[in-house]
Amino acid sequence: MASLTKNPNVNKWVEEMVALTKPDKIVWIDGSDEQLDELRKEALSTGEMIELNQEKLPGCLYHRTKVNDVARVEDRTFICSRSEEDAGPTNNWCDPKEMYAKLTPMYDGVMKGRTMYVIPYSMGPIGSPLAKVGVELTDSIYVVLNMDIMTRVGVKAFENLGDTSDDFVRGLHSKADIDPEKRYIVHFPEDNTIWSINSGYGGNVLLGKKCFALRIASFQGKNEGWMAEHMLILGIQKPNGDIKYVTAAFPSACGKTNLAMLIPPESYTKKGYKVTTVGDDIAWLKQGEDGRLYAINPENGFFGVAPGTNVKSNFNALESTKKNTIFTNVAINNDDMTVWWEGLDKNPPENATEWKGAKVNGKEYTAEGNKLAHPNSRFTAPAINCPCISPEFNNPKGVPISAIVFGGRRAKTAPLVYQSFDWQHGTFVGSIMASETTAAAAGAVGVVRRDPMAMLPFCGYHMGDYWAHWLEMGKKLGDKAPLIFNVNWFRTDDEGHFIWPGFGDNMRVLEWIIDRCEGKADAVETAIGYEPKPEDINIEGLESDGITLDVIKGLLDVDKALWKTEAVGIREFYGKFGAKLPKEMTEELDKLEARLG
Ligand code: OXD
Ligand code: MN
């Protein structure tokens, strides 16, 4: 099939990759419904995809990955910058020459007997000055169909690139044999190149997402003066119609999708408050002509974790999955070919197929402590399905950001919310983000895992340089910079129960944040930052959850002894970054310790 572009840089590279991987056939993805329908039919005929109930779930398909291939593989993910220093202590590094030499024989002839799909895609709205183009070569129809949901796929992406530009990210993916021992997810930031082999799991193979939009893009952002962040973007519409935009970074599995699609408590919706979603995972941020920081969501869909998603926890996400969605590794209800996962409702289907493919009685199976859906099972849903998608979702200029929110999962240390003193201190606050491990994951419980800006697995270069870039951005933005906050929804009581109700009630905290941005709310200065006066957190209607003014006081409490221990942990963590740790960060740590006394 003939190329869809005149761009010689694209064509030369595709030719080289064809010569290497030797596919039987090459199909350029133009993005048309006809072509995608053909591919759906083909994937159904081979069993790669399974058709779900087309009346109840129109356009929805099901896919099961290999049992050994269900999540991102950080130990097999590499940043191959020319110099090891540039990858930094938080990334796996290998010399690019050595890595190309190791992987080239693995790709040699890997697509014999297979079709290579050439997927041109845009990260960001077509025509946006913040958008960037990628081309992914893959031997998986599952990847094509997912990329079509997650990005803007087809000839229009090439129109955005133009006929001469070399500024596109070259992604090469092959399922190969899905051999976990030969699985590699490799980034060559200086070559704008990503090579992924022996996986079929989304986070490893939808190369527009973590690989491009975070790892490669963070490096591009540093060089070009913008930022690629692991952040949701939401709009808070106030009763007067004014909308304020907020981005927020949390480590994986801390509820970013839920916060992005939050439904405010009734007392707020009655007054006219509304939350709209621009993005649930990634934000690209750049200074606009007016000097403010603008954000786009480079993605076009949601690759969300299914378990735990239900009408109460995230009505909008659930609604988003009702049509044209791909489900991966959830359970199937064989009675009506619909889907089920833990936390959807209390009725596991009796006639079920669990995620690995065995037919089971779901009630008995789950009663024995087994999971019907894999804990990291996913839905890939088009953003336009989301009932609360922002009208600005496709705005090529992006949305102006008023506040940046960091957060983690801390049982005692971090208060419900605090504001940084300024941008430099806010950068420090982001850099000390951490979560405590829960019983849900293997290993010890309560261990603090540092995840600066939620970028630990996603920063494509040295984290010390990354913080320096944050400080640099703050200088450029000056007094137009967003205010920086930290939240913690996960404080627990002595029995280990969460105190704060979370979900929609997080609106109450967002309200204080917005009020601070507008200069309408007071704050109390503490050793760690500005906190709300307890009475400034609206708790109307929360009595039945046991939330009183005293409980809020407790949630805002800063335990100095805990923070002193925390400071010791931060200093030890900072020690890893050597000479590249900006002096401003140590300065902030010193100041924190001095304030703690
Ligand atoms: C994700 C992640 O899949 O952060 O979004 O792991
Ligand atoms: Mn994520």
Percent of the chain with pLDDT over 70: 98
Question: Is 17 a member of any domain?
Answer: yes
Question: Known catalytic residue: 517?
Answer: no
Is residue 292 located within the same domain as residue 437? yes
- Summarize pLDDT for 478-510 with one digit per residue, the tens: 999 999 999 999 999 999 899 999 999 999 999
523: left (phi over 0), alpha (psi -120 to 50) or beta: beta
**Pocket of ligand 1 contains residue 457 by CB under 6 Å:** no
- According to DSSP, the β-strands at 326-328 and 77-79 are unpaired
Residue 594, pLDDT above cutoff 80: yes
CA 376 to centroid of ligand 1, rounded, Å:
10
Question: Is 327 a member of any domain?
Answer: yes
Per-residue confidence at 48, pLDDT binned at 50, 70, 90? Answer: very high
What sign does the CA torsion over 270, 273, 277, 282 have?
Answer: negative
CA 92 to centroid of ligand 1, rounded, Å:
18
How many domains, the chain? Answer: 3
User: What's residue 541's pLDDT?
Assistant: 93
Average pLDDT rounded to a whole number, residues 71-80: 94
At 347, which CATH number?
2.170.8.10
- According to DSSP, the β-strands at 77-79 and 184-188 are parallel
Of the residues 385, 407, 441, which one is the last residue of a structural domain? 385
Give the contacts of 273 (CB within 8 A, at least 6 positions apart): 236, 237, 238, 239, 264, 507
Q: Whose CA is nearest to atom 6 of ligand 1?
A: 252
Question: Is 355 a member of any domain?
Answer: yes
Is residue 112 located within the same domain as residue 210? yes
Is residue 473 located within the same domain as residue 430? yes
Question: Is 3 a member of any domain?
Answer: no
Is residue 523 located within the same domain as residue 443? yes
Query: Closest ligand 1 atom, CA of 230?
Result: 4
Domain that holds residue 271: 229-299+391-596
* Residue of 457, 432, 434, 456 lying closest to 446 (CA atoms): 434
Average pLDDT rounded to a whole number, residues 326-330: 98
User: What's residue 252's pLDDT?
Assistant: 83
- Summarize pLDDT for 180-195 with one digit per residue, the tens: 999 999 999 999 999 9
Of the residues 385, 419, 448, which one is the last residue of a structural domain? 385
CA 586 to centroid of ligand 2, rounded, Å:
28
Average pLDDT rounded to a whole number, residues 266-291: 97
What DSSP line would sit under 517-565, residue for residue?
A: HTT-S--EE-SSSEE--GGGS--TT-GGGT--HHHHHHHT---HHHHHH
CA 112 to centroid of ligand 1, rounded, Å:
32
Question: Is 68 a member of any domain?
Answer: no
- Summarize pLDDT for 529-579 with one digit per residue, the tens: 999 999 999 999 998 889 999 999 999 999 999 999 999 999 999 999 999
Mean pLDDT in the chain?
96
Residue 441, pLDDT above cutoff 70: no
Q: Whose CA is nearest to atom 4 of ligand 1?
A: 252
Between CA 176 and CA 187, with CA 182 as vertex, the angle to 5 degrees is: 90
- Summarize pLDDT for 515-535 with one digit per residue, the tens: 999 999 999 999 999 999 999
Q: Indicate the pTM of the whole model.
A: 0.97
Per-residue confidence at 255, pLDDT binned at 50, 70, 90? Answer: confident
CA gap 17, 576 in Å, rounded: 38
Is residue 29 located within the same domain as residue 146? yes
**Pocket of ligand 1 contains residue 148 by CB under 6 Å:** no
**Pocket of ligand 1 contains residue 252 by CB under 6 Å:** yes
CA 550 to centroid of ligand 1, rounded, Å:
36
Cα of first residue to Cα of last residue in the chain, in angstroms, is 70
Is residue 364 located within the same domain as residue 453? no
**Contact predicate 121/153, CB 8 Å:** yes
Query: Closest ligand 1 atom, CA of 281?
Result: 5
CA gap 309, 264 in Å, rounded: 17
Helix axes 96-107, 8-21, angle to 10 degrees: 60
Between CA 136 and CA 143, with CA 140 as vertex, the angle to 5 degrees is: 60
* Residue of 303, 244, 279, 295 lying closest to 128 (CA atoms): 295
Q: Which of 77, 211, 252 to mutate to test the pocket of ligand 1 (most atoms within 8 A of CB)?
A: 252
Residue 416, φ and ψ in degrees, nearest 5: -50, -45
60, 80, 94, 254: the catalytic one is: 254
Of the residues 205, 225, 245, which one is the last residue of a structural domain? 225
